[in-house]
Structures are given as structure tokens and as C-alpha cells.
Amino acid sequence: MPRLAHLVLGVAALGVGARANAADASDASDAGTDVDAGAVDIASSGPRVRGDVLRPSGASGRLRACSFRHPLCVHARAPGAGAAPVDLLGTLASAERAWDTATGALELPPPDADPGTGAYDIYLVPRPTVAARTVMSERDVRSALDRASAFTLLDARLGGCARDRAVAQELLRAVVLRLAPAMDEGSARAQTSAMAELVAPCAAVDASLFLSHPERALVDSWPEAPADVGARFGDGAGLAYTWLDATFAAEPGGVLRALWALSPTVTPSGAWRWHNEPDSFDVLRASFKDAVSTGSTIDDLLRELSVARAVRGDTKIDWTIDWPTKARRLSSPHSGVAPTGTSIVAIRRTGAGNETALRLELEWETHAKMRWAVVKLDAAGRELGHLPIPTTDKATSTQISIVDLGAVATVLVVGTNCGDSAYPFDPDDEVWEPHGWLLTIAPE
């Protein structure tokens, strides 16, 4: 892919960063403190510049282990109050391995060291709400582009592969805060989850929440739910970026590195929120023109992603029905499909003859830019092929007849909401309006 090869070249300019010398980190207590959220932002669409958790503070009864090779320290309370020395050393070893892989094979810059501690700090905390969380520490006011340091809060109970995976993902989140601190949390969580699969592939990711809610936006952080729910969904959404990288990148991590390198932002000094423009979807929109086929856009990319989600076999299906003997109408079974979300209908060829064909008529709400595809599966669930259903940006209906079904056991109808035709999808929008659809199926 020449376009992607061009993108990957842009990463090299950001691949080298100044390394701060490891220094004594300030001691701290385990519990992060909430920042007063009473202030109201009036300017920007991005996440808040100052995070909602402060760096732990306090100096008594502390354990600390620092790397001799990197500006990196791990902190915990005294033994018996959260973590043992072996936990610090194990976490430090995990972080050093992740650092070496990220800055070596993946050619990423390291996290910025905090100006106060001189290191990227990881704090082991007992029973946090979210198993691992990385928070912006200080904005680099000297940089012409947005840039920030970070620290991580990590569940002290984690060990083995689970700890390796969590440490790798949070270190990568700190890298993102250096390169693109204005990135929305949903995008950052999903993208670092995908990249962590390359750094620490030993632990399986719990993608069940993402797979059971294909109708929600890819970068949905579930603000209405507890924080751990959004984190779980974001981790699972890494599957989308893993597919994107595996399908289009010239080398592992190439698409993700390009997304981070090509979305630098400039936020005015003193702003309360980051100015997240360009965001990751702006980069995809500009970079993936003609990537799927001649004349294709990001909408075609999202449709192909939805097809890939559908053929996995473990993504939730909205309807599963047998071959119709007469016309039948189905509707979206939930409140609708959010932008970048997916709907799937499975039609089994139970009782259908070899010469049968199928007529599909689709309708959807105004302001929903829907893209559809038909996927043919064999008896083992393997894809035999898929066919986009023609439509236009402002259309609210389309139709197609499906033939040549001799070896087909199941037909999947896959729909994707690509957003409003008048406004490109923005991950920083406060509300992503879902839209419903109607599907009429008839034998021919």
C-alpha cells in the first residue's frame, strides 16, 4: 500500500526523543486524589488538559525501585500495606521489557519524564477501580506541539502475563500522551490495546464487552457507566485497530505509529481542554482514500472492518433466522446503531434449494450514512466472499438480489453507520446519535 508506506515514513521523525536521566522520584501515597471538577470549560472539544486524578503524594513508609537504564521508577507502600519488594522488582522488569520493545523494535519514542521526579513513574495501588490507568502529569509548555508527561496507577495484585500486558499498554499510553496528548480516551485505549498485543502478546484480552455491543461506537468510553466498563470496552476495541494494522500496515504497528505521528495538535496555553484536531479519524479519512478500492473512502474502510467483525464468529448478531418462505421484515433490535457501530443479520439456508435467490430491501433513518455488505459463509462458518451493497451518502434505502448460493450455508447482512453525511465523525462529540434500520427479506 503506497499510501500506508508513506505514512510509516513520517514516524521516523518522532522516533528519537531526549531521554531524561533517572533520578530519585518523590515519595507518594497510594490513593490517587480526585481533582475538583467544578470548573467548566468554554473553549475546546478535546479531553481536559488537567486529568481527574492527581499524582499520589506522601513520603512515609515507601518502597521504590528505579531502572539503571531508563528514567523509570516503580513505587509502592511498605510491605503488608499493598505490595512486597518482589512486586516492585517484577513490575520494574515488565516495564523495562516493554520500554525496550516499544523504543527498539517498534521505533517509538519513550514516555516523557516528569519534570519533578525525572522519571516515568508507576505506582502500585491496592484494589483500584480500574486495574491500570495512566494519567497526564505535566504539560510541556516549551514544546511548539502538544506534549505531556504521565504517571501510571497499577493494581498491585497483578502478576505474570497479566501484569506484563497491563504495564505495556500503560507505558504506550504514556507514549501517546507525549505524541498526541489531545487524543480522546476511547481512541487512546483501543489503539494502545492493539499496540500492546505486539509488545506483550502473552495475555489474552477480555473482548467480550466489545463483541457483545457491536452497535456502539468503536471509541465509546461508556461515560454513563463505571470507569472499568469503559476500560474493558476500549481494550476489546483494540481488535478493530489490530485488524486495521494487520490488513494495511507495511510492518507490525505501522498504522498505529502513523496515527500517532500524524495527529500532532496545538492547544493554546492556559486552555482547559486539549484541541484534538486533527484526531485519529481525520488521519484515517485523509490517508485511506483509495485504500480499499479505487475511489474508496473511510466509509468503505469502516464497512470492511464491520465485515471482518461479522465473520469472526463471536460478535453479537442482531437477528438469526431461517430462509424465508415469504417476505419478512426485521428492524434494529436496540435503540439503533451509533456512528462506527455495526449491525449483523444472519440468514441460514435451512430448507432452501440450490437454485434459490434472496431479495434484500434496506431502509434507514435520515442523517445516517449507512454502508451495507452481504457476506456468504460455508457450513464451517468460513467466508466464501462478500459484496458491498451500492448506496450513496444521502440515501435512506437500497436493495439487492443475492444469487449463486449453491455452496452457501449462511448469508450475513452487515450494516455500518458511518456518521452524518453533513458532518464527519468526530470522536470528541458529546453525543453520538444512533440510527435505526429496517430490512425486508424475500425469496426469489
What's the pLDDT at 78?
A: 66
What's the pLDDT at 160?
A: 94
The domain locations on the chain are 2-287, 314-443
- 177 Cβ contact partners less than 8 Å away, ≥ 6 residues apart: 111, 112, 134, 136, 148, 149, 150
| Closest of 161, 168, 229 to residue 195, by C-alpha | 168
Residue 336's SS3 state is coil
Sheet arrangement for strand 342-348: 319-322, 342-348, 410-417, 370-377, 383-389
- 392 Cβ contact partners less than 8 Å away, ≥ 6 residues apart: none
Task: For residue 69, count CB atoms less than 10 angstroms from its CB and return exposed for 0-12, middle for 13-18, buried for 19 or more.
Answer: exposed
| Closest of 114, 121, 179, 118 to residue 153, by C-alpha | 121
C-alpha cell read off for 213: 455491543
| Closest of 378, 400, 380, 413 to residue 444, by C-alpha | 400
- Rounded Cα distance, 151 and 135, in Å: 6
What's the pLDDT at 81?
A: 54
Given a contact cutoff of 8 angstroms between Cβ atoms, the answer to whether 29 and 58 are in contact is: yes
CA 331-336-339 angle, 5° bins: 135
- 331 Cβ contact partners less than 8 Å away, ≥ 6 residues apart: 436, 437, 438, 439
Residue with cell 434507514: 364
What's the pLDDT at 40?
A: 40
pLDDT mean by block of 10 residues, the chain; 444 residues: 40 32 35 41 69 69 89 83 81 98 97 95 90 94 95 94 97 98 96 97 93 97 92 97 97 96 94 94 96 95 98 96 94 92 95 81 95 96 95 94 90 96 90 94 91
Residue 161's SS3 state is helix
Task: Specify the DSSP class assigned to residue 225.
Answer: S
**Could you say which architecture CATH assigns to the domain 314-443?**
Sandwich (2.60)
Tens digits of residue pLDDT in 326-348? 999 999 988 899 999 999 999 99
What's the pLDDT at 335?
A: 85
Residue 70: Cβ within 10 Å count = 22
Query: Which amino acid is present at 240?
Result: A
- 418 Cβ contact partners less than 8 Å away, ≥ 6 residues apart: 298, 299, 302, 303, 339, 340, 369, 370, 371, 425
Given a contact cutoff of 8 angstroms between Cβ atoms, the answer to whether 155 and 32 are in contact is: no
Task: Specify the DSSP class assigned to residue 338.
Answer: -
Given a contact cutoff of 8 angstroms between Cβ atoms, the answer to whether 434 and 214 are in contact is: no
Instruction: Give CA separation, 442 vs 168, 183, 305, 323, 325, in Å.
Output: 50, 45, 27, 9, 7
Given a contact cutoff of 8 angstroms between Cβ atoms, the answer to whether 252 and 198 are in contact is: yes
Residue 332's SS3 state is coil
- Rounded Cα distance, 57 and 124, in Å: 13
| Closest of 433, 422, 368 to residue 395, by C-alpha | 368
CA 389-282-339 angle, 5° bins: 45
Instruction: Give CA separation, 84 vs 46, 124, 144, 166, 309, in Å.
Output: 39, 10, 42, 19, 42
